[in-house]
Amino acid sequence: MFKRLTMAHVLGALLSIAVSASSAVPAARPMAGMITGGVTSQPIGHYEFCRANPSECHAIKTNLAAPRVTDAGWKVVNDVNMAVNSTITPVTDQELYGRDEYWAFPVNAGDCEDFVLAKRRMLMEKGFPESSLLITVVRKPDGEGHAVLTLRTAGGDFILDNLDNEVKPWFKTPYEYLKRQATFDSGRWVSIENGSDVLVGALQ
């Protein structure tokens, strides 16, 4: 029923999208980066994803520093976010798989976690370090859970979101940040200590 998302599909989407390469890193400020706490519970969907894809969940011993992203790098980030958003059809796990909380690389449809997995894999293939591409769980203003991809950079944390084609600093999104993958192990998760401050600031 669904066609597999191939590089040809993605390249076609990229060619049809005009994205500015001038995305500037904001000036340093207290909320430029998330403050993380200790190890916390792993989402059940990610736990099952790791069991099915053990190579995706492992200790990370290199490239733990947040990278500096060039203008060319920002264009790649924006292009990937836009391409996946325009290529994948948003559907629930119940609609697609007949079950809740099933995380998988998308074919041509999926829910928010599947969007994140696709973007994370594509950016890793483009040379971004695994420790800077972190699946992140947030709460939307209506209270519903949601997943986004956090890109750690030397200029702060940025969010790739299937609900927004613009890549934004995390503190400019309307979410409460709960937890994300650990930088040191893609199979473990850590709490986000200043996540509720973002929601308050974004709604003012």
CATH code, domain carrying 60: 3.10.620.30
Question: Does residue 105 lie within any of the structural domains?
Answer: yes
Question: Does residue 37 lie within any of the structural domains?
Answer: no
Q: How many CB atoms lie within 10 A of CB 79?
A: 20
Question: Does residue 28 lie within any of the structural domains?
Answer: no
Mean pLDDT, to the nearest integer, of 16-35?
Answer: 52
Contacts of 91 (CB under 8 A, 6+ apart): 109, 110, 111
**Per-residue model confidence as pLDDT tens digits over 104-114:** 999 999 999 99
**Per-residue model confidence as pLDDT tens digits over 45-75:** 999 999 999 999 999 988 789 999 999 999 9
> Which value, in Å, is the radius of gyration of the alpha carbons in the chain?
16
Question: Does residue 23 lie within any of the structural domains?
Answer: no
- Give the three-state DSSP class for 172: helix
Weakest mean pLDDT among 30-34, 169-173, 184-188: 30-34
Provide the whole-model pTM: 0.84
Question: Does residue 165 lie within any of the structural domains?
Answer: yes
Structure tokens at 189: 């998760």
pLDDT at site 12 = 44
Q: Is 16 exposed, middle or buried (0-12, 13-18, 19+ CB in 10 A)?
A: exposed
Contact 151/77 with Cβ under 8 angstroms? yes
Give 203's pLDDT tier (boundaries 50, 70, 90). Answer: very low
How many separate domains does the chain show? 1
Give 196's pLDDT tier (boundaries 50, 70, 90). Answer: confident
**Per-residue model confidence as pLDDT tens digits over 109-159:** 999 999 999 999 999 999 999 999 999 999 999 999 999 999 999 999 999
Domain with 97 in it: 43-203
